[in-house]
Amino acid sequence: MVISAGLIALLLAGCELSKYPLILNASGKSRTIHVDVSPPAEFSDTVTIAIADLKDLTDYDIDSIRFYNLTLNVDNNESGAEAAISGEITVDGTTLLTLTNVQVTEFLEEKSIFDKTITGYHYNPPGVVFLLNALKTQSPSEIKVIMKWNPIVDRLHFDLTITLYAQVFANP
């Protein structure tokens, strides 16, 4: 019992409870884009994401934001069975993700931008660094996410949800 209490005290002493007394889950911050395009037309859409939205989680001063993941998920897919896309997702003009002949069905289950199992699907490290810095410095106050896709064979018709997973550290 004394040993257990000592271990707990040691673990708590290692935690920076006074530095980050408020840790908030920012997971699930997402935007959904409706995609509806047929070949040979190009699909393009812009979503503006306000970094300030993360500040709305608390009335306290935000100390930092820790980025964990960014995911893509397709819902309401009415695209053809062979529907595939090529294109990119950019963040304020910096390429975040490149897709080359990727089947839409790959995203029927939520996939990380870091997923290495999908052929033709590659994240761009400078785009990730830009996103990390925007979250860390909370500047710019909002970022523009632009999707430019070309349908390869079939009509594209689905909802794409982009979700940010992060934690917000705040000081009361």
Q: CA 48, CA 142: separation in Å to the nearest integer?
A: 7
**26 inside domain:** yes
**74 inside domain:** yes
How would residue 128 be classed by pLDDT, with cut points 50, 70 and 90? confident
Answer yes or no: is pLDDT of 168 > 80.
no
pLDDT digits (tens, 9 = 90+) for 145-160: 888 888 777 888 999 9
Q: Are 44 and 146 in contact (CB under 8 A)?
A: yes
Give the rounded percent of residues in the chain with a pLDDT score beyond 70.
73
Closest to 65 measured CA to CA, from 170, 168, 172: 168
**104 inside domain:** yes
pLDDT digits (tens, 9 = 90+) for 16-74: 444 544 555 555 577 888 998 888 888 888 888 776 666 555 566 666 667 778 889 99
**79 inside domain:** yes
Split into its structural domains, the chain has a count of 1
- From the number of C-beta atoms within 10 Å of its C-beta (0-12, 13-18, 19+), residue 65 rates as buried
- Residue 69's alpha-carbon distances to 28, 66, 76, 138, in angstroms, are 10, 10, 23, 17
Total residue length of the chain: 172
- Residue 125's alpha-carbon distances to 46, 94, 132, 141, in angstroms, are 21, 10, 10, 21
Per-residue pLDDT, averaged over 127-142, amounts to: 80
pLDDT recorded at residue 55: 59
Helix (H) or strand (E) holding 135: helix 125-137
Closest to 90 measured CA to CA, from 164, 145, 133: 145
The domain that holds 56 is classified in CATH as 2.60.120
**15 inside domain:** no
Domain hosting residue 58, numbered range: 22-171
Beta bridge partners of 71: 112, 163
Per-residue pLDDT, averaged over 92-109, amounts to: 92
Q: Looking at per-residue confidence, does 7 or 102 come out higher?
A: 102
pLDDT recorded at residue 3: 44
Answer yes or no: is pLDDT of 121 > 90.
yes
At 15, phi and psi to the nearest 5?
-80, 145
**12 inside domain:** no
pLDDT recorded at residue 6: 40
**3 inside domain:** no
**130 inside domain:** yes
